[in-house]
Amino acid sequence: MAAVTERFQQLFVVWIVLSITSSVAVDRNNFKTCSQSSFCKRQRNVKPGSSPYRALLNSLELTEKNIKVQLINEVNKVPLLLEIYGLEGNMTRIKITELNPLKPRYEVPDVLIQDPPTLPLAVTGRDDNSIELALSQTDHRLIITSKPFRLDIMAGNELVLSVNSRGLLVFEHLRQRKDTFSDKISSTVGSMWDRIKSLFSSESKQENSESEAEKPEDGNSEQLDAAEKVDEAEPEKNEKDEDTENGMWEETFKTHRDSKPNGPTSISLDFSLPGFENVYGIPEHADNLKLKTTDNGDPYRLYNLDVFQYELYNPMSLYGAVPLMLAHNAQRTLGIFWLNSAETWVDISSNTAGKTVFGKMLDYVQGSKEAPQTDVRWISESGIIDVFILLGPKSTNVFHQYASLTGTQALPPLFTIGYHQCRWNYNDQEDVRNVDAGLDDHDIPCDVIWLDIEHTDGKRYFTWDPNKFPKPQDMLQELEAKKRKMVTIVDPHIKVDSGYKIYNEIRSHDLYTKSKDGNDYEGWCWPGNAGYPDFTNPEMRSLWAKMFAYDQYEGSRENLYTWNDMNEPSVFNGPEVTMHKDVVHNGGWENRDVHNLYGYYVQMATAEGQVLRSGGKERPFVLTRAFFAGSQRYGAVWTGDNAAEWDHLKISIPMCLSLGLAGISFCGADVGGFFKTPSTELLVRWYQMGAYHPFFRAHAHLDTPRREPWLFGEENTKLIRSVVRERYALLPFWYTLFYNAYRTGVPVMRPLWVEFPADVTTFAIDNEFMLGNALLVHPVAEEGSRGVTAYLPGTGEVWYDVRSFQKYIAPQQLYIPVTMSSVPVFQRGGTIIPRKNRVRRSSSCMINDPYTLYVALSSQNTADGELYEDDGHSFNFQTKKEYIHRKFTFINNILTSSNADNSSHFTTKAWLEKVVVMGAQKPSKVHIQMKDGSTSEVEYEFDAATSILTLRKPAVNIASDWTILLR
């Protein structure tokens, strides 16, 4: 019987997979539009206008940490509590929730790295309708206007941001479902009209009341539907129909019914940004870097989903969600961080027509009526309003501010920024051995070989197929001998199988998520019927972490790392291919509340497992598909199941840039494209793109022909080899960028505007990008391209082509003729980049190799740069400060290497082999002077045609202090 069931399950999965893989593109019908998501529809039907909310200024209470003010909805009388926090570092936190909720509402835990330090607030002004607060030591002030309720944040006399200025604060309070079904049957049209009338009459009645003692009316008074009901109510309909129609107590999508035991709980708030025309962030969407207005379509959606063959340039949700938006203009960058893990929609409009009419007390704001303005509205299905305003003023301030809340990018082990060779699947140990040998035979460096789901014993994670991978330890040891690593996939759906240890263990601890009837929730995924562990439960995470111990994960070794896929979570037979919203998690919270956190917790638990297995010594590496704010602390993300198409190649830039702006620097797209088969030209161009993305992995679908980089003829092997080797030569630069991302939250891969904030030409550019402050990359992403036009920004700055060393004056639109070997990359004048030009089999083979410094002089003949180095794998850089952090400065013809961090200590055998100075003049002599005063002459060559000065063998240890003098 069991065997029959198993067989059936396998067939079912095969059927699902076939039916999924046979369609050509995303089936949009599988995914909700705003109007199919009842709360989004209800909320979006509320139009801007006068807000029913009034701030009860007399209720103001100033505490040590915040101020509290009650808000009253004058239609339904439900009171809310507003809390405002002035946070250290130019941030303001605004929380709004019900004053007296029927039961607690969900507040996102585990994402903020600490309780953000607060600064005392002070009331600095007050009149009948407003209160002014000083926000911090700087000149920021916040004005609370009572009626209609709004908040305005001012910097000096400049209005920076307004809250609820369009009156879109909507808070669906928790309520009892008043009537039983039979009551409803008998409810009459007349009684409904009575209710509606009473709603409206109560509005006028309450106009002048400021009493806190007002009791909310019964739960059936829906502020936001009141107006609509007048228009839409049809006499035949009873109340139940209406609730159903509005999706308040249940809704269906396709064949799926969402029971809503808590009824409607959605929230919404609007923000106006005078002076801003450009907004960015809120990954993950397959769209341009600069976000579009959503007036004529759906809002951008944030709801982690496994979207099969996603379409480009639209606001549909994808695998991950970071509810952080950045706004930028030539004067200022600011951020809005909406801390909510429920399904969320973000509307953006930018216009002058629907512009806010400023309150009379703000009329003096100069020029505001003429300024462009962006209006943003956030809508979430449940939880509370908890929003952080990051006031910049510079983009680097915003990155620090966001990092101070959610943490920075974990410093990855060095090997993870090398090249990764993956496909679904490397079939067996022999296949792995051949791929490993093929990389060496063709002189293509690589650090990691990956195994997808077929390596397991019947999709039971933490196991190996006994026939294909009988001796995983031997395989891992062979890789170790080559200084290579392996990654295996470990997904969060656990095969329901009483003979499977992992399944039983989680069950015995009763740690699966529950369906609404209280049984373990089960859904279909790769293994057939599967349970979904409740990763929101710390006990589950700790159990999961222990499963990575070497004696638990049989066949694992130190050089085995992990890939978490399908962790949105993907449920093939669930609504929108994910978990039902009424699934119950730890603490009784619904998936509705925690949905966007699931994948975040999976990666967190996996990373903790890797740390645990090494006794806390080794840095983990975990790649995840689903993510949330803070995921940067646990590893890398990739852009999911893309396709071998030119547009997918192009969109990998804005997708990773948006992630980087939202704190997640370690991003890449499947090189070659996951679905479909790339032309050889596309594959080569994709390697040229991927080599300049933070995470660099080739991957391919099971159904596609093999595409290891040496299978396309010697000429193409050479092209791919050359760009992979270029990646390895630049590893010291990449590693230093990652260290800075870890330290400060500044992204590794950056939009041009981050480096050139006042250059409006850069604001919408997403076909080129910066690595750090130093390299500008404009990959070729058009089929049959003969040339590209790169924009070189920076008034009065200079750029050097990294191959020809040709110098260009900025700003300019530079046409660059290209061949298949061209990857247009420019080093910015004024920067110094460390490289290791002796490329070897893997990054660990290069650890002691010598460095070359590339000094690109600015128009003022200056430059500076940095180098970070450590053991590449342990936490000693944190616990023992074992690292080298050098600062290089070129000024007045003197190149100096000094310690950027005197508290660090680490020794290396690596020495300085060469210095290349771009834009140099011919010196008559070159000396190097050591710390002890000793000097020696340095050999050099000068190429007058290119102005390149090459200093040979300064031969000093890279960690030492020295000065090179050009005379």
Ligand X SMILES: *[C@@H]1O[C@H](CO)[C@@H](O)[C@H](O)[C@H]1NC(C)=O
Kindly list the residues in this chain that would bind ligand X in the complex (CB under 6 A). 89-90, 138, 155, 393, 397, 899-900, 902
CB 432 within 8 A of CB 652: no
Nearest residue (CB) to ligand X, 645 versus 864: 864
Strand partners, 464: none
Q: Which of the following is catalytic: 565, 582, 670, 759?
A: 565
Min CB(891)–ligand X separation in Å: 15
Smallest gap from Cβ 159 to ligand X, in A, equals 14
β partners of residue 869: 884
Cβ atoms of 335 and 324 within 8 Å: the answer is: yes
How many C-alpha atoms does 538 have within 13 Å on its Cβ side?
2
Closest to ligand X by CB, 493 vs 885, is 885
CB 402, min distance to ligand X, A: 11
Please list, in sequence order, all residues whose beta carbon lies within 8 angstroms of the beta carbon of residue 629, skipping any fewer than 6 positions away: 111, 322, 323, 324, 337, 339, 406, 662, 663
Give the residue with the Cβ less far from ligand X, 268 or 329: 329
Pairwise CA distance, residues 574 & 916, whole Å: 58
Q: How far is the CB of 862 from ligand X (least distance, A)?
A: 19
Smallest distance from ligand X to CB 372, Å: 22
Q: Using the minimum distance from each CB to ligand X, give the nearer residue, 14 or 330.
A: 330
The three-class DSSP label of residue 930 is strand
- In the complex with ligand X, which residue's Cβ is closer, 155 or 302? 155
Other residues' Cβ atoms within 10 Å of the Cβ of residue 942: 15
Smaller CB separation from ligand X, 85 or 769: 85
Nearer to ligand X, 274 or 620 (CB): 274
Do residues 367 and 717 touch, judged by C-beta distance below 8 A? no
CB closer to ligand X, 139 vs 218? 139
DSSP assignment of 21-74, as one string? HHSSS--GGGS--GGGSHHHHHHHTSPSS--SEEEEEEEEEE-SS-EEEEEEET
Q: Is the peptide bond before 116 cis (omega within 30 degrees of 0)?
A: no
Task: Write down the least CB distance from residue 89 to ligand X, Å.
Answer: 4
Give the residue with the Cβ less far from ligand X, 744 or 899. Answer: 899
Helix/strand/coil for 576 = helix
Tell me how crowded residue 945 is: count the other CB atoms within 10 A of its CB. 6
641 is catalytic: yes
CB 596 within 8 A of CB 342: yes
Helical segments of 119-272, H only: 181-186, 189-205, 223-232, 239-245
C-alpha triplet 149, 151, 155: angle, nearest 5°: 160
Q: Which is nearer to ligand X, 137 or 761 (CB)?
A: 137
For residue 854, give the nearest of 863, 846, 845, 843 by alpha carbon.
863
Query: CA angle at residue 33 from 32 to 36, to 5 degrees?
Result: 70
> Least CB distance from residue 673 to ligand X, whole Å?
40
Torsion of CA 164, 336, 28, 536, to 10 degrees: -110
Dihedral in degrees, nearest 10, Cα atoms 349, 379, 580, 341: 110
How far apart are the C-alpha atoms of 625 and 246, rounded to whole Å? 33
Q: How far is the CB of 329 from ligand X (least distance, A)?
A: 15
- Cα three-residue angle 705-711-715, rounded to 5 degrees: 140
Write the CA distances from 578 to 566, 585, 598, 914, integer angstroms. 9, 15, 11, 55
Task: Work out the angle at residue 897's Cα, subtended by the Cα atoms of residues 896 and 899, and round it to the nearest 5 degrees.
Answer: 135
Given 641, 670, 759, 766, the catalytic residue: 641
562 pairs with which residues across the strands? 488, 622
Q: Which is nearer to ligand X, 254 or 931 (CB)?
A: 931
In angstroms, rounded to a whole number, what is the distance separating the alpha carbons of residues 875 and 549?
18
Q: Which is nearer to ligand X, 89 or 438 (CB)?
A: 89
Q: At what angle do helices 501-508 and 538-546 cross, to 10 degrees?
A: 150
The answer to whether 532 touches 512, Cβ cutoff 8 Å, is yes
Q: Are 659 and 402 in contact (CB under 8 A)?
A: no
User: 905 or 952: whose CB is closer to ligand X?
Assistant: 905
Q: Which two tokens stand for residue 570?
A: 């993907």
Strands 485-489 and 560-564, bridge-based pairing:
parallel
Q: Compute the least distance from the CB of residue 899 to ligand X, in Å.
A: 5
**Chain position carrying tokens 């129609």:** 245
Smallest distance, ligand X to C-beta of residue 215, A: 43
Distance CA 492, CA 490 (A): 7
Beta strand 798-801 with 278-281: parallel, antiparallel or unpaired? unpaired
The least distance separating ligand X from the CB of residue 900, rounded to whole angstroms, comes to 5
CA distance 299 to 402: 24
Q: Is the dihedral of CA 815, 820, 821, 827 positive or negative?
A: positive
What span, in angstroms and rounded, lies between the C-alpha atoms of 599 and 803? Answer: 42
Least distance to ligand X from the beta carbon of 19, Å?
Answer: 52
**Percentages of the chain per state (helix, strand, coil), in multiples of 5:** 25, 30, 45
Q: Taking the complex as a whole, how short is the minimal distance between the CB of residue 676 and ligand X, in angstroms?
A: 46
- What pairs with residue 150 in β-bridges? 145
What residue type is 428 in one-letter code? D
218 assigned to active site: no
Active site residues: 565, 641
